[in-house]
Structure 1
Amino acid sequence: MEDRSIAKNLVYQRKLKGYTQEELSERTHVTIRTIQRIEKGELNPHLQTVKLLATALEIEVDDLLILEDPKEETIQKKWLLLMHGIPILGLGIPLCNILIPLFLWIHKREDHKIYDIHGRAIVNFQITITILFVLSLIALVTIPGAFFFFIAVIPFSIIVMIKNVISAINSQKCYYPLSIPFIKK
């Protein structure tokens, strides 16, 4: 999500019009202190105050207030759920843990920055886990006692994937430990 707020928008719009805080206060009958507190992000103004500021700046209220579209947020959660959950198919169908997330990332990365960040993290983690799995399989055959390394790779990847599905849905954040950054920004 974009890092925008009413504070930043008010400062931007006020400076765009060339008004000082005092001039804006005179035009709106909102105190200078209130305008200062809004611009510092210390105060969340009432809708009436926002309307007064927008009228004085000759802009729409929507130019000051950033309202999140609930449908867009729901769609993002569904895409994030799909992107983070689909690699579990790789447990049954070889390389689906890499190829399907890679396809989704390529398809969605231009739509929103969050898809690019999450998709890159998912693909990097899945490539890393696949390499670890192959190495553990080789170690299982060649090194006595490497059975525990072989057994630990799959539960580790499942736990990390499930944790990231939950985290992506709740907070739109992800963390994939031990990932090698094959795909960089």
Structure 2
Amino acid sequence: MDATTERTYGLFVHLSAFSGFIIPLATLFAPLILWLIKRHESEYVDAHGKAAVNFQISYFIYAIVSSILIFVFIGFVLVFIVSIAWIVFVIIATVKASNGELYKYPLSIPFIR
């Protein structure tokens, strides 16, 4: 796999998270499927896939906790913050991947190493 193709797959691993706006739970499963398909072909795609999947799992957990905390009213603020942070970090990671750089998501729990 050449460098341009690697960067393209790295970009799509991160960008595929936005498919969740159209298909429920695709935010988590789209990056996971892309990573599982291409992880053996490139270390670059493997690294971006792990980062994206870890981030999506982490922020899914944060969103659930924030939603539960709506009952004590702080959740309204947390849901907003988590949503904005998710969008911003996915965009940053996508741009970094298209530039050939690795991106470490903030507050991402490393489930997959």
Same fold (TM over 0.5): yes
The residue aligned with 1:173 is: 102
Identity of aligned residues (%): 35
The residue aligned with 2:76 is: 147
- Greater Rg, structure 1 or structure 2? 1
The residue aligned with 2:42 is: 112
Structure number having the greater helix percentage: 2
Q: SS where residue 146 of structure 1 aligns?
A: helix
* Distance of 1:151 and 1:144 partners within structure 2: 12
- Where relative contact order (Cα < 8 A, 6+ residues apart) is larger, the structure is 2
State the number of aligned residues. 113
Q: Residues 91, 154 of structure 1: CA spacing in aligned structure 2 closer, same or farther, 3 A cutoff?
A: farther
Q: CA deviation at 1:80?
A: 1.3
Asked if 1:128 corresponds to 2:50, the answer is no
The residue aligned with 1:49 is: none
Q: CA deviation at 1:146?
A: 2.7
* Aligned pairs for 1:1-185 within 5 A: 72-140=2-70, 142-184=71-113
Which range moved further: 173-182 or 121-130? 173-182
Conserved? CA contact 2:54–2:109, under 8 Å: yes
Corresponding letter in the other structure for 1:103: I
What TM-score do the two structures reach when normalised by structure 2?
0.92
Unpaired runs of 5+ residues, structure 1, are: 1-70
Q: Residues 144, 107 of structure 1: CA spacing in aligned structure 2 closer, same or farther, 3 A cutoff?
A: same
